[in-house]
Amino acid sequence: MTLLDDDPDAAEAVLRHIYNFTLEPPADEESDKVRFYANVVVAADKYGVLTLAEEAALHLTSHLVNTKAPQDVVASLKIITEEYSDYESLQLCAASQLKCRLKELASVPGLAALVGSQPLLFTEIVGQAVKLADLQFHQCHFCRNVILRTGGAQPVCCKNRAGSIATASVVK
């Protein structure tokens, strides 16, 4: 049987899953693993094998989390967002990784262009910036600890007395 629209490795993974075999990626390059897991998500979704689609998405997330080199992560995010733009679960996976690893990925060349071309990634970054802008930092007059104010309550420090907290700027 020839399945013209499906990646052969992904189609094999779907068949193996139906017969209770484990999901195993090819032992090739890192980008091949990203494409393999993404292709399995696509094929499993197409054939209604939702448990395999979820498993492949989890493997993809785990693979991205365990990828050490920031440039490899950005290359993987580019593959996911550009080649699999029709699959929301894959897009959310990419956005989640960007959000969690933004500080280490920020210096990778090409990240700004990638984020600018992908609305979901851009939204994640803007959302993070808005959350950070809403934070209020205070500094204790006694011990000089910087305290994050959450909600409307006055922040409390270990040596706090009424009125001992004043708004302060946080310096890196």
Mind giving me the DSSP string for 131-168? Answer: HHHT-EEEEETTT--EEEE-TTSPP--TT--TT-EEE-
> Which has the minimum average pLDDT: 17-26, 109-118, 152-161?
152-161
CA distances from 60 to 11, 19, 36, 91 (A): 17, 22, 9, 12
Quick check: pTM over 0.85? no
The DSSP element (H or E) to which 34 belongs, if any, is: helix 30-46
Instruction: Give the pLDDT confidence of 125-161 residue by residue, as tens digits.
Output: 887 776 666 666 667 666 767 666 656 666 666 655 4
CA of residue 2 relative to chain centroid, distance = 35
Write down the domain spans for the chain.
8-130, 136-167
- Higher-pLDDT residue of 155 and 167 is 155
Locate 88 and state its tokens. Answer: 């929301």
> pLDDT averaged over the chain?
82
